[in-house]
Amino acid sequence: MAFKHKYSYAEKEKIIIEYLNNTYGFRELCRIYEMSQGALKGWIRLYNAFGFEGLRTSSQASRYSSVLKQSAVNDYLNGKYTAPEILKKYK
């Protein structure tokens, strides 16, 4: 099965709403929209962490200061936060 690689924000939102409303099951959504399970899992994680805004993509790469990067790494290495918690904390 061929997989699509780009989805618009509106498509992502629709798929997540169908998942949240139990319109279709997880695997069924992946089959219907010809997407990988990993992609849908990632969208669900983003939605849980940041809401629908987490599904928006930027055309530019984000830039982070060295201080912010070091803080995130230190929090992770010290076991202070889990990786998903760090992503949420440092956006």
pTM over the 0.85 mark: no
Q: Residues 51, 69: one domain? A: no
If DSSP states are collapsed to H, E and C, what string results for 5-69? Answer: CCCCHHHHHHHHHHHHCCCCCHHHHHHHCCCCHHHHHHHHHHHHHHHHHHHCCCCCCCCCCHHHH
32 neighbors 4 (Cβ within 8 angstroms): no
Q: Residues 64, 46: one domain? A: no
Residue 71 has pLDDT above 80, yes or no: yes
Digit-coded pLDDT (tens) for 8-47: 999 999 999 999 999 999 999 999 999 999 999 999 988 9
Q: Residues 45, 32: one domain? A: yes
Does residue 13 belong to any structural domain of this protein? yes
Looking at residue 58, what is its pLDDT?
Answer: 67
Please state, in angstroms and as integers, the Cα–Cα distance from residue 22 to each residue in 19, 58, 80, following that order.
Answer: 5, 29, 35
The total domain count for the chain is 2
Domain residues for 42?
9-55
Looking at residue 86, what is its pLDDT?
Answer: 83
Q: Residues 15, 33: one domain? A: yes
Looking at residue 13, what is its pLDDT?
Answer: 95
Looking at residue 89, what is its pLDDT?
Answer: 80
